[in-house]
Structure 1
Amino acid sequence: MAEVMSLQRKRTHPHKFLLWVAIGSIIMMFAGLTSAYIVKRSQAGWIMLEIPTIFWYSTVTILLSSVAVHFAVKAFKDRNIPKYKQMVWITAVLGIAFLIMQIIGFMQFSRMDIRLVGAGSNASYSFLLAIAGLHAVHVLGGVIALTVIGIRAMSARSKSYNAVPVEVVATYWHFVDILWIYLILFFNWMK
C-alpha cells in the first residue's frame, strides 16, 4: 500500500501536465514569431524599433505580480486564506495594470505618428504589435484565471484546500512573466 501511495505522489496531476503541454505550444509559437522577426529584419526598409519607456514600467509591474503570486501560493499552502486572497487580488490588479501600460505604450506610437498596421506602417512595428498583443492576450487569460480562483476563495461555500488549481495558475503566471522578460529583452537587443 505504501508503494502505491508513493507512486501516486510522484504522478503529475493531469491539469499540470496539460499546462506544461500548453506552455510548450506557446513557447513554440513565440519562438516562430521572434524567428520571423529576425528573418524579416534583414530586408530593405526595416526601421529600428524604439520601445516606449512605459514598457519598462510594465516589466517592473509584471515582475511584482510574479512576487505576489508566489506569496499567494505560499499563503495557500500555509492555510493563511486571508493573505492568500489578498495576494491573488494584488496579482490580478497588477496584471490589469500591466495590460493598461501596454495599451498606453501602443497609444504613444500613434502620438509619435507611427503607424502600426496598414498603409504607411513598417513591419518592425507591426511585429511588435502582433507579438506584444499576443502576449497581452495570454496575460488577460491569466488575469481571468486569477479572478476565478479569487472568486472561489471569497465564496463561503468553498473550503477546498486542493493546491493544484492555485499552483497551475501561479505556474502559468510565472510563465507569462518570464515570456515578457524574454520579449522586452529581445526587442531591445534586436534594435
Structure 2
Amino acid sequence: MWAFLIQEVMFFGGLFLAYAIYRASYPEAFAHGSHHLDVTLGAFNTAVLIASSLTMALAVHAAQTGHRAQLILFLFLTLLLGSTFLGVKAIEYSHKWHEGLVPGLQWRLEGPDARHQLIFFSLYFAMTGMHALHMVVGAIGLIVLLFFALQGKYSAEYNTPVEMFGLYWHFVDIVWIFLFPLLYLFARH
C-alpha cells in the first residue's frame, strides 16, 4: 500500500508542479479564473472530507477492536460523506459547463487573458477530476468493505483491508486539503 501511495504522491505532485509553473507564468489569468470557482461549495466539500476522515478513522478503530456494528455504521457514514462530496462536485462541474468554462468544445470565455484562463481551467479540471476519480474508486472500495463487514469477515484479529483502505482514504482527503486552498483561495491573489 505504501508503494502505491508513493506513486500517487508522485502523480499528483506532477499536477501540482504544472499548476505552480503556470500560475507563476500567468498570475493575473489564474486570479481571474479562480474568481469563477465557488468558494462556499469548495469549503463545504472540505468540511465533508474532513468529517469523512474522522468516520474512516473510527471505522478502522472499530475494526481493530472487533466492534462490527460500529464498523458498519462508520463505513456507511464514510460512503455517505464521500458520495456527498461527489454530488457537490457534480453540481460545481455543472455550473462550469453552463458558464462555458469547460476546456474544449464548451469553452466560451472571452477577453484579454481568456487563453491563459483556459490553462487554469484545464488544470482545475485535471486536478479535481483526478481527485474525483479517486473518490469514485474509494466509494467502490467502501461498498466492498461494507459487503464483507456485513458478512462478519473483519474482526480484531483480521482487519487489514480496512486499515489499508483507511490509508488510501486519508491520502485522497489530504490531496483535497491541498487542492482547495491552491485552486479556490491562493489563486485569487
Q: What's the TM-score once normalised by structure 2's chain length? A: 0.83
| Percent identical residues | 28
1:61 matched to which residue of 2? Answer: 48
1:10 matched to which residue of 2? Answer: none
Distance 1:96 1:166 in 2: 19
Determine which structure has greater relative contact order: mean sequence separation of CA pairs < 8 Å that are 6+ residues apart, divided by chain length.
2
1:98 aligns with 2:94: no
Residue among 9, 14, 17 paired with 1:35: 17
8 Å CA contact retained: 2:50, 2:173: yes
8 Å CA contact retained: 2:52, 2:82: yes
- Unmatched segments (≥5 aa) in structure 2: 110-117
- How much does 1:179 deviate? 0.9
AA in 1 matched with 2:101: R
Distance 1:144 1:185 in 2: 27
How many residue pairs get matched? 171
Distance 1:107 1:159 in 2: 39
Q: Give the 5 Å matches for 1:146-165.
A: 146-155=142-151, 158=153, 161-165=157-161
Residue among 46, 64, 75 paired with 1:88: 75
Q: What's the TM-score once normalised by structure 1's chain length? A: 0.82
Distance 2:30 2:171 in 1: 30
TM superposition outliers: structure 1 runs of 4+ over 4 Å: none
Instruction: Determine which structure has more spread, i.e. the larger CA radius of gyration.
Output: 1
Kindly provide the CA deviation profile for residues 12-61 of structure 1, in whole angstroms up to 9, marking residues without a partner as x. xxxxxxx1111111111111112112222314983421221212111111
